């Protein structure tokens, strides 16, 4: 079967964001160790299935080889992330920086956001990226300053109430 040839999309091969907390660094290290423990078993399984002969009709071999490729890719990806990592240390600054937790008020509601790197974002938990529209607007601002955020032709004003 021939696969269709497609142009890479805009989300293909995105650069790695090196900024992360110490907690995320430890999590990646643990994932790497887990993958490295799985690798020998997956490689021996591929070798065992290769001995059965005829690769074109050996579905188990193809699946085992795919699992091994996935493990190898995961190891390579995490090694690259760990090698490029820059640990974010919270600073007790009076301006919003990467690693700051910011309390903002807008639309008669208060919201708390922590500004981190893009590898750790989780808006449901109040963690946003410094590259997000709100994160970019908040960086460098002080308590009492306002920022205007325009999303889908709707502008909302937010006032910074606190920075930790």
CATH number at 153 reads 3.10.50.30
Could you tell me if 75 and 107 lie in one domain?
no
Q: Are residues 68 and 110 in the same domain?
A: no
- Which of 128, 124, 153, 126 has the alpha carbon at shortest distance from 138? 128
Q: How many domains does the chain have?
A: 2
77: domain range?
Answer: 19-87
Task: Give the pLDDT confidence score for residue 107 in this predicted structure.
Answer: 85
pLDDT, one tens digit per residue, over 103-152 is 999 888 999 999 999 889 999 999 999 999 999 999 999 999 999 988 88
8 A C-beta contact, residue 82 and residue 93:
no
- The torsion angle over the Cα atoms of residues 76, 35, 17 and 113, rounded to 10 degrees, is 170
Prediction pTM value? 0.80
Among residues 60, 87, 114, which one ends one of the domains?
Answer: 87
**Model confidence at 64: pLDDT above 90:** yes
In a domain, 131, yes or no: yes
């Amino acid at each position: 079967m021939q696969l269709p040839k497609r142009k890479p999309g805009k989300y293909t091969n995105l650069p790695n964001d090196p900024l992360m907390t110490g907690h995320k660094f430890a999590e990646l290290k643990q994932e790497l160790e887990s993958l490295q423990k799985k690798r020998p078993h997956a490689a021996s399984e591929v070798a065992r299935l290769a001995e059965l002969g005829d690769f074109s009709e050996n579905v188990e071999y193809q699946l085992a080889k795919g699992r091994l490729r996935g493990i190898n890719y995961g190891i390579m990806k995490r090694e690259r992330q760990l090698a490029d990592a820059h640990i974010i240390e919270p600073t007790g600054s009076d301006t919003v920086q990467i690693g700051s937790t910011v309390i903002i008020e807008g639309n008669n509601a208060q919201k708390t956001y922590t500004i981190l790197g893009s590898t750790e974002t989780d808006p449901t938990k109040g963690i946003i990226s410094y590259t997000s529209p709100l994160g970019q607007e908040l960086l460098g601002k002080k308590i009492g300053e306002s920022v205007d955020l325009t999303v889908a032709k709707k502008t909302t004003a937010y006032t910074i109430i606190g920075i930790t």
